[in-house]
Amino acid sequence: MSISRRQFIRNSLALATASALPVNALAQAKPAHSVGVLLDPLFFKHTLHGHPESAERLKAIDAELTRRDYWKYFTPVKARTALRDELQWVHEEGYIYDVEIYADGGGGYINPYSEDTYVTPDSFDAACMAAGGNIEMNLAVYDRDIDRGFALLRPPGHHALKNKAMGFCIFNSDVIAAKALQKYRGVKKVAIIDFDVHHGNGTQDLTIDDPSILAISIHRHPYWPMTGGMQHVGTGQAKGTNVNIPFLKYAGDQAYLEAYDQVIAPKLRDFEPEQILVFAGYDGHWQDPLADHRLSVNGYNQLVKRLTDSAEELCGGRISFALGGGYKLDPLAQCVAGSMHTLLGLPGTFDDPIGLSPDEELTYPERIQELVKHHLA
């Protein structure tokens, strides 16, 4: 049974109820899939005015989902705080303690050599809630409480290292959630797919020697954080389970989708994951101010459809998404709404008011063939 956004917020966030929303013709349609959505008030409290990764991002997403009357379709998934032991599956105890003390002391930029990752008095609690929430989302997907999930969490996680915050990220919630599936449900193999325009260096470092986790990142390279070359394929028994798909500037929809069809989908088939986790960064959109790739909202929608098709083919449809980058508010909101439209399986074509890049995108056919030979030979 569908629920209103008022019910969603009351059930999942324990916030004040919202006013009733108008129902349009599209909202009368019945979704083909149940989609769990996770959101928590702490994700709004971790914020710094003027910083690219602020709570304004979630507010923009919420406003667009409200405008399109999508909230009533979602099944609320309640977040929880990650246990210390769960954080220590991937992070050093001393680092966890340092973040907590830094937040308790009022915060600031946690890495004094790079003003990118801030900590506020609420950031430690928000990061713990993001990690625990991603665990709960993925357990709900695995247990079939929902068909698919999207965790609208902050702070993000894919740059977070074992003992260091970087790139707006504090705890690596995707790797923590993958470990939770293995420890709590006995899952043998998990795939983490990262389509943020920046390489998921933290995810790579934390899984590089683990043959039970397939980590795939498609990104701009060379680019910050200056990692993600195709030569990194995993070490020891994990060789072949780290897959980097680097593109130079101006890659767009066609390059990403061709790379998915020719590299990512075959790697997933070879690996046979029992669940797929997606780090959903939308900063490859052509309007994003922090990068120079040229994806469109529709391109992301097609990428999400391919991911869900792979999940249906390989692991009974078990797939979850966690919010990554995207720093211009309107494109971010449209991309997330488009992904939700695709995940729900709503009829019709998603209405993208932004459209394609006015500038030509590069397709990189030679690079894709190079990647095929490198990763699938």
Write out pLDDT tens, residues 11-58.
Answer: 454 332 332 333 344 446 789 999 999 999 999 999 999 999 999 999
Q: What is the pLDDT of residue 115?
A: 73
14 in any annotated domain: no
40 in any annotated domain: yes
Q: What is the pLDDT of residue 377?
A: 84
Tokens standing for 302?
């097609």
Q: What are phi and psi of 68, to 5 degrees?
A: -85, 0
Q: What is the pLDDT of residue 29?
A: 77
Q: What is the pLDDT of residue 79?
A: 98
11 in any annotated domain: no
| DSSP per position, 157-176 | -TT-BTTB-BTTBSS-HHHH
CATH of the domain at 112: 3.40.800.20
Residue 309: which H helix or E strand, with range?
helix 297-314
| CB proximity list for 333: less than 8 A, separation 6 or greater | 60, 61, 63, 64, 65
d(CA 169, CA 179): 18
- The reply to whether 159 belongs to the active site is yes
d(CA 84, CA 93): 8
Q: Tens digit of pLDDT for each residue in 166-195?
A: 999 999 999 999 999 999 999 999 999 999
67 in any annotated domain: yes
248 in any annotated domain: yes
Task: Give the chain's domain count.
Answer: 1
Q: Tens digit of pLDDT for each residue in 306-363?
A: 999 999 999 999 999 999 999 999 999 999 999 999 999 999 999 999 999 999 999 9
For residue 277, give its domain range.
30-376
pLDDT at 249 over 70: yes
91 in any annotated domain: yes
d(CA 232, CA 199): 12
23 in any annotated domain: no
Q: Tens digit of pLDDT for each residue in 100-150?
A: 999 999 999 997 766 799 999 999 999 999 999 999 999 999 999 999 999
Whole-model pTM: value is 0.93
303 in any annotated domain: yes
Q: What is the pLDDT of residue 21?
A: 33
Q: What is the pLDDT of residue 113?
A: 63
Catalytic residue among 158, 159, 199, 232: 159
